[in-house]
Amino acid sequence: MCKKFGGYFEKYLLLPHIRSKSSGTLATEKAFQRRFWRYLEGIAFEGTELEVNRSDAEKYIQHMGESSLQANTIRTAIGILGTFYQEAVRQDWMLKNPFSRLDPPRPVEEPHTILSVKQMKKLLVVPDLTTVNGFRDRVVLELLYSCGLRRSEVSQVKASDFQEGYGSIRVIGKGQKEAVIPVGKMAAHFAAFYCDNVWPRINRDDREELFLSCYTGAPLNDYQVYRIVKEAGVQCGFKETITPHTFRYSIATHLDEEGVDIRYIQEFLRHEDLSTTSRYITQGFHRLQAIHHNTHPREKS
């Protein structure tokens, strides 16, 4: 962190309700804070981060726009900085939140990659089951698709989280909310074999986490989970970058295509707002619509 800035952000990170955030969320907050501090250093800002006022905040937003950052990135930056400063006000570290009620750029609905069922089946069988790494990666992919887990949730899975003979799994999601999610038969089969035969071979330090590095024995972090998924997509020859979130969008689309009620999909993906689930499904429709326009014989003629 920058020497001049970050002292109060360190205090912010020690607050109990902030410490309960997921590692991925905190990593994102830290990255956007550091970017802001670099800007303040670049303009030779005098004072601590708590001496930033509304005019300084507006100039930073203008600076981000001139730096060709995407609108959604700028919106995220405003939200993260606003959250920190709002907490600073609550803690009586300062009087006003300089990022309060600023006008962010309009959000841009970015298309997400959605795999068909056939493509998903192709992706799942990429890992080499004759290797420890490969079997571990296969279980990761199976659970992502079967349970719609987020990558931060995958990195925290413990063997003890499985219930009912691997028929369900307990996860701690966003906001430390606990949920029990059904596990499909295929995913349960691979998870059971992995727990009984593979995991003990790499669990040299008697850890609780299920997915470990075969080299260090440490639990996989969020980025390593992302790499497993991305590399599987590359090996499949997919042009689009495949991420853990691709699974959640694909699952929503597949369930919707099977006629599953949207409220069940919302519960399964653990969305607080139904509009979020609706957006996932809309993405799937737009993809189907594009395929129809590009391939249907009547459209081509």
Mean pLDDT, residues 221-228 taken together: 90
- Residue 179: band (very low, low, confident or very high) from pLDDT cuts 50, 70, 90: confident
Alpha-carbon gap, residue 183 to 81, rounded angstroms = 38
* Percent of the residues in the chain that have a pLDDT greater than 90, as a whole number: 52
Q: What is the pLDDT of residues 112-160, one digit of tens each?
A: 788 999 999 999 999 999 999 999 999 999 999 999 998 889 988 999 9
Helix, strand or coil for residue 163? strand
Instruction: Output 287 or 270, whichever has higher pLDDT.
Output: 270
DSSP, res 183: -
Most confident among 28-32, 260-264, 276-280, 281-285 (mean pLDDT): 28-32
Q: Which ranges in the chain belong to alpha helices (H)?
A: 7-13, 16-19, 23-42, 54-66, 71-90, 117-124, 132-147, 151-154, 185-193, 199-202, 222-236, 244-257, 262-269, 274-295, 297-300
Alpha-carbon gap, residue 298 to 182, rounded angstroms = 42
Does residue 86 carry a pLDDT above 60? Answer: yes
> What is the token pair recorded at 208?
């609780």
Active site residues: 150, 174, 245, 248, 271, 280
- Residue 1: band (very low, low, confident or very high) from pLDDT cuts 50, 70, 90: very low
Instruction: Output 133 or 111, whichever has higher pLDDT.
Output: 133
Amino acid at position 138, single letter: R
Is pTM, for the whole model, over 0.85? no
